[in-house]
Amino acid sequence: MDLPYIFNFNFPLPFWIISGAVLLFFSIQLVYYLLVYRKPYVYEQKRNKSLPLSENLPSVSVV
């Protein structure tokens, strides 16, 4: 019994090379975003939770 056409993985080699490169690119972007890019945000959130409330308020300069 043959598998349906959707399960036919007999694609040409350039397709596999390009799709593998695209998958690798987006995987690296995802890891960078989760492990590197969000860290300053997480640290700032922790710092803001530890500060007193008055330091989190915006300052108003009166002339």
> Could you give the angle at the alpha carbon of 54 between the alpha carbons of 52 and 55, nearest 5°?
75
| Domain extent at residue 15 | 11-45
> Does some domain include residue 1?
no
pTM attached to this predicted model:
0.49
> Does some domain include residue 17?
yes
Residues 6+ positions from 56 with CB-CB distance below 8 Å: 48
Most distant CA pair in the chain: distance in Å? 85
> Does some domain include residue 58?
no
pLDDT class of 1 with cuts at 50, 70, 90: low
> Does some domain include residue 52?
no
Which of the two residues, 6 and 33, has the higher pLDDT score? Answer: 33
Q: How far apart are CA 39 and CA 33, in angstroms?
A: 9
> Does some domain include residue 30?
yes
First-to-last C-alpha distance (Å) of the chain = 85
> Does some domain include residue 15?
yes
Q: List, for residues 9-46, the tens digit of each pLDDT value.
A: 788 899 999 999 999 999 999 998 888 777 767 777 77
Q: How many domains, the chain?
A: 1
> Does some domain include residue 38?
yes
